[in-house]
């Protein structure tokens, strides 16, 4: 069983437990549930930087990235730096995140927030909405076409945008459907953790123009973005590059200024 399979196995169990504790009605009564969401896809279309900055404490491939910042410090720093949106990891076991991180981020900034999570159930989409997200992530590697269709439709009906993450041609072909807003190409192979910008370059021409294209993972330099832009990418998700410094907001500010 590879790391991705382990994460998904644990996630299914986690959702069952959460459903037993917090009923859907409680999520629907949250203060953020009726809030109008902010469109990341529209912001990316008109942005000069396209940076989606990430709040990420650790990962399976790099145990600890940074535990020193508060969520508020990081996300306010990103907003002030001019990021288009912020990705907030909410997985606890493997990434050290939580839904509280999303809640604190929502209370701190007024730009689009992505709930970065391994979504396998509609319940997690209700959580995303209740805790202040503007869009959700769906990962093609762990979902069937039918699951992508039902989960993305459910999200759209709640007013959330959908970023679908793919890693190869097969995942892309099975996933393309009108209920998606953004298609992200993950430059990291989730099974081997190998990273290469070639994944984005190879898939770019296969992604229909009605979707905003985002490149994710392994982007650590302005040169990488300059290299990817001619392929039609409007968004660039950067996490570790900012989080591993002693001031994520400052690192993002300097990076975006160089762009």
In order of 60, 78, 185, 189, 241, the CA distances from 2 in angstroms are: 11, 33, 20, 12, 25
User: Choosing from 43, 56, 213, 234, which is the catalytic residue?
Assistant: 56
Domains of the chain: 3-258 (3.20.20.70)
Active site residue 80: no
Check pLDDT > 90 for residue 11.
Answer: yes
Angle 80-86-59 (CA atoms, 0-180°, nearest 5)?
Answer: 120
Active site residue 240: no
Write the pLDDT tens digit of every residue in 139-169. Answer: 999 999 999 999 999 999 999 999 999 999 9
Question: What size, in residues, is the chain?
Answer: 259
- Answer yes or no: are the C-beta atoms of 81 and 115 closer than 8 Å: no
Report the pLDDT value the prediction gives residue 206, as an integer from 0 to 100: 97
User: Choosing from 186, 187, 215, 241, which is the catalytic residue?
Assistant: 186
Write the pLDDT tens digit of every residue in 99-147. Answer: 999 999 999 999 999 999 999 999 999 999 999 999 999 999 999 999 9
Report the pLDDT value the prediction gives residue 194, as an integer from 0 to 100: 83
Angle 255-257-259 (CA atoms, 0-180°, nearest 5)?
Answer: 75
Q: Measured between alpha carbons, how far is 257 from 259 in angstroms, rounded to an integer? A: 5
Check pLDDT > 80 for residue 193.
Answer: no
User: Choosing from 11, 43, 116, 234, which is the catalytic residue?
Assistant: 116
User: Choosing from 79, 127, 161, 165, which is the catalytic residue?
Assistant: 165
User: Choosing from 217, 234, 240, 241, which is the catalytic residue?
Assistant: 217
Report the pLDDT value the prediction gives residue 225, as an integer from 0 to 100: 96
Q: What is the mean pLDDT of the chain?
A: 95
Check pLDDT > 80 for residue 62.
Answer: no
Active site residue 216: yes
Active site residue 186: yes
Check pLDDT > 80 for residue 66.
Answer: no
User: Choosing from 79, 161, 216, 240, which is the catalytic residue?
Assistant: 216
Check pLDDT > 80 for residue 255.
Answer: yes
- Answer yes or no: are the C-beta atoms of 115 and 137 closer than 8 Å: yes
Check pLDDT > 90 for residue 201.
Answer: yes
Q: What's this model's pTM, rounded to 2 decimal places?
A: 0.96
Give the CA-trace dihedral at 184, 31, 15, 211, to 10 degrees. Answer: -20
User: Choosing from 49, 54, 152, 161, which is the catalytic residue?
Assistant: 54
Q: Phi-psi category of 37—alpha, beta or left, where left has phi over 0 and alpha has psi -120 to 50?
A: beta
Helices 71-81, 248-258: axis angle to 10 degrees equals 20
More confident residue, 210 or 64: 210
Sign of CA dihedral 59, 65, 70, 72: negative
Report the pLDDT value the prediction gives residue 67, as an integer from 0 to 100: 72
Report the pLDDT value the prediction gives residue 3, as an integer from 0 to 100: 86
Beta bridge partners of 115: 88, 136
Residue 2 pLDDT class (50, 70, 90 cuts): confident
More confident residue, 170 or 194: 170
Helices (H), the chain: 3-21, 24-28, 40-46, 71-81, 99-108, 122-130, 145-157, 169-175, 198-204, 222-228, 240-243, 248-258
Beta bridge partners of 89: 116
The mean pLDDT value for 212-239 works out to 96
- Answer yes or no: are the C-beta atoms of 220 and 199 closer than 8 Å: no
Write the pLDDT tens digit of every residue in 213-222. Answer: 999 998 999 9
């Amino acid at each position: 069983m590879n790391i991705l399979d382990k994460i998904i196995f644990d996630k299914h169990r986690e959702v069952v437990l959460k459903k037993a504790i917090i009923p859907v009605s409680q999520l629907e009564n949250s203060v953020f549930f009726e809030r109008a969401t902010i469109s990341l896809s529209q912001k990316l279309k008109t942005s000069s930087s396209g940076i989606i900055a990430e709040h990420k404490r650790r990962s399976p491939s790099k145990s600890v990235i940074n535990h020193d910042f508060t969520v508020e410090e990081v996300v306010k720093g990103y907003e002030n730096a001019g990021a288009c949106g912020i990705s907030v990891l909410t997985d606890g076991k493997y990434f050290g995140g939580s839904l509280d991180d999303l809640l604190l981020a929502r209370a701190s900034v007024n730009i689009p927030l992505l709930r970065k999570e391994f979504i396998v159930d509609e319940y997690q989409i209700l959580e995303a909405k209740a805790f202040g997200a503007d869009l959700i992530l769906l990962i093609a590697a762990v979902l069937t076409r039918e699951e992508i269709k039902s989960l993305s439709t459910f999200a759209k009906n709640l007013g959330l945008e959908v970023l679908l993450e793919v890693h190869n041609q097969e995942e892309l072909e099975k996933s393309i459907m009108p209920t998606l807003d953004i298609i992200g190409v993950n430059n990291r192979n989730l099974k081997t953790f190998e990273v290469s910008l070639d994944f984005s370059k190879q898939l770019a021409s296969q992604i229909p123009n009605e979707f905003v294209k985002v490149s994710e993972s392994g982007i650590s330099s302005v040169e990488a973005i300059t290299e990817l832009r001619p392929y039609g990418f409007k968004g660039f998700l950067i996490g570790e590059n900012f989080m591993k410094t002693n001031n994520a907001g400052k690192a993002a500010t300097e990076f975006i200024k160089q762009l």
